[in-house]
Amino acid sequence: MKTLKDLGDLKGKRVLVRADFNVPLDGATITDDGRIKAALPTINALRDEGAKVILMAHLGRPKGKVVPELSLAPVAARLGELLGVAVPLAADTYGDDAKAKVSAMSDGDVVLLQNVRFNPEETSKDAQERAAYAKRIAALGDVFVSDGFGVVHRAQGSNYDVAADLPSAAGLLVEKEVKALSHATVNPERPLTVVLGGSKVSDKLGVIENLLDKANRLVIGGGMVFTFLKAKGYAVGSSLLEEDQLEKVKGYIDTAKQRGVELILPTDIVVNAGFPAGDTPIDPQVVPADAIPEDRMGLDIGPESARLFHDAIVDSKTVVWNGPMGVFEVPQFAEGTRAVAQALVDATAKGAFTIVGGGDSASAVRNLGFPEDGFSHISTGGGASLEFLEGKTLPGLEVLN
């Protein structure tokens, strides 16, 4: 994979950078700027070389239409604060305003193009349509840098097709992500413990199948655990359950046993009368994992499980975590996720290589107040990191080879 050093002298060059600025918003307020901060090393490296940095990114799912609420204006403002320079936002992606703002750039300047997903061609399934659109964007630059790891698992106009029109390379963030995830999956230091959570087993099928060949321990929590508990014959009350995955999960349990992979499931669960929303009261109770009442919903792992998970993680040399242990947005159901995050911090302090696998896990560690340097790596790509862990070929990386 080509990297920045393969692009040669960039002084005065117009460098198109595909970043991942798909940040969570509360109105016009960014609630987690982690992805913007993750792009700073590449942006600053290019500015230091005297390049003209032209950034492109998406926000949300406007589905090919201009949606004012999904403008990148809040991102341009926050990025300007972090860089200490003005970051003009073009009114379009490749039109007259984008061309004018790029033409006015001096060496070291930064411009942000408007949300690429305002253009229907960005995510078109028609390769020719997408390629023609990409050429219009490519005309703004001299070289292309792919630094939006969160989108490299998709073949889209601004991260895949543009690379066919310009000299291209991975940015520092993409390079860092690939090295970190490879560190954990290619000859990792052992024991290797994989911690999976989140709502659905179906979201993690490929990861489980791929890592059952590699992991020493598989630790399961979150909403997906109830399909595992049901597969073991336990009643799960009104908890989230994927009936259509039960046979597959039974197969995973058998395979783990045959291959000597330690499968660690919760021994206790924090339950509630239902999901904490609307008129449903918050009344958490701890029950054994094999005795969830019929009228209760599991929303977190219990304190005994938290200690069990902590001990397994701290006893590891490599840890990959993807998915919260419960409904961490509600304080009463956040303790399992907090315990896993703390276990990774403790393992890191003991010399383990630890990865927080993006998406909700990354948001959780920040929202729960954990320092980012407490982990070896926090991925910026939820879906991309999952597909990497599944062993899939990622188009946005393959095109850089």
Distance (Å, whole) CA 305 – CA 219: 10
**Residue numbers in the chain where pLDDT is lower than 70:** 358
Instruction: Name the residues annotated as catalytic.
Output: 35, 200, 359, 383
pLDDT score at 203? 87
Binding residues: 20-22, 35, 58-61, 117, 154, 204, 298, 329, 358-361
Q: Is the separation of the CB atoms in 301 and 323 below 8 Å?
A: no
- The residues near 382 (Cβ < 8 Å, ≥ 6 apart) are 150, 322, 357, 358, 359, 360, 362
Measured CA to CA in angstroms, residue 106 lies from 47, 52, 91, 166 at distances of 11, 7, 19, 21
Measured CA to CA in angstroms, residue 108 lies from 25, 59, 101 at distances of 29, 25, 14
pLDDT score at 390? 87
DSSP 2-52: -BGGGG---TT-EEEEE------EETTEES--HHHHHHHHHHHHHHHTT-E
Token readout for 19 is 């970043």
Binding residues for substrate: 20-22, 35, 58-61, 117, 154
pLDDT score at 7? 96
Q: What single-letter DSSP state applies at residue 135?
A: H
Assign domain 4-174 to a CATH class.
alpha beta
For residue 298, the number of C-alpha atoms closer than 13 Å in the C-beta half-sphere is 35
Residue whose C-alpha is closest to residue 149's, from 372, 362, 319:
362
Residue whose C-alpha is closest to residue 59's, from 20, 98, 1:
20
CATH architecture of the domain covering 187-389: 3-Layer(aba) Sandwich (3.40)
Question: Cis before residue 191, ω within 30 degrees of 0?
Answer: yes
Binding residues for (2R)-3-phosphoglycerate: 35, 117, 154
Binding residues for ATP: 204, 298, 329, 358-361
pLDDT score at 87? 98
Indicate the burial class of 324 (C-beta count within 10 angstroms; 0-12, 13-18, 19 or more): buried
Question: Which residue ranges does the chain devote to CATH 3.40.50.1260?
Answer: 4-174, 187-389
